[in-house]
Structure 1
Amino acid sequence: MRNRLPIGRNFFGDDEFMSDFFNDLPALGASTKQFKVDIKENDKEYMIDADLPGVNKDDIVVEYKDKYLTISAEKEQSTEEKGENFIRRERSYGSIKRSFYVDDIDESKALVEYKDGVLRIVLPKLVEPKSGGTKFEIK
Structure 2
Amino acid sequence: MANDMMNRHNDLFDAMNDWFDLPRKFFDDNEVAKLMQSDVVENDKEYVIKVDMPGMDKDKIHLNYNNGILSVSGSRKSFKDMSKDNSIIHRERSEGHISRSFRLPNVVASDIHAKYDNGVLTITLPKQQAGASDNSIQID
Return the TM-score normalized by structure 1.
0.67
Taking only the aligned residue pairs, the percentage that are identical comes to 34
Give how far 1:83 is off: 7.1
Match of 1:52 in 2: 53
In the alignment, which of 125, 128, 136 is matched to residue 126 of structure 1? 128
Q: Does 1:107 align with 2:109?
A: yes
Pairs aligned (count) = 108
Matches within 5 A, 1:1-139: 26=25, 29-34=28-33, 35-79=36-80, 84-129=86-131
Q: Which has the higher contact order (CA 8 A, sep 6+)?
A: 2
Gaps of 5+ in 1: 1-11, 13-17, 130-139
Give how far 1:111 is off: 1.4
- RMSD over aligned CA atoms reads 2.5
Moved over 3 A (4+): 80-84
Give how far 1:80 is off: 8.8
Alignment partners' CA distance in 1, 2:57 and 2:128: 31
Give how far 1:108 is off: 1.6
CA deviation map 1:34-78 (0-9, x unaligned): 311100101110000000001000000000012110001000014
Alignment partners' CA distance in 1, 2:46 and 2:98: 25
Q: 3-state SS of the aligned residue for 2:59?
A: helix
Q: What amino acid maps onto 2:31 in structure 1?
A: T
Gaps of 5+ in 2: 1-10, 132-140
Q: Summarize the Cα distance change of 1:41–1:57 in structure 2 as closer, same or farther, 3 Å threshold.
A: same
Greater helix proportion: 2
Return the TM-score normalized by structure 2.
0.67
Alignment partners' CA distance in 1, 2:78 and 2:88: 15
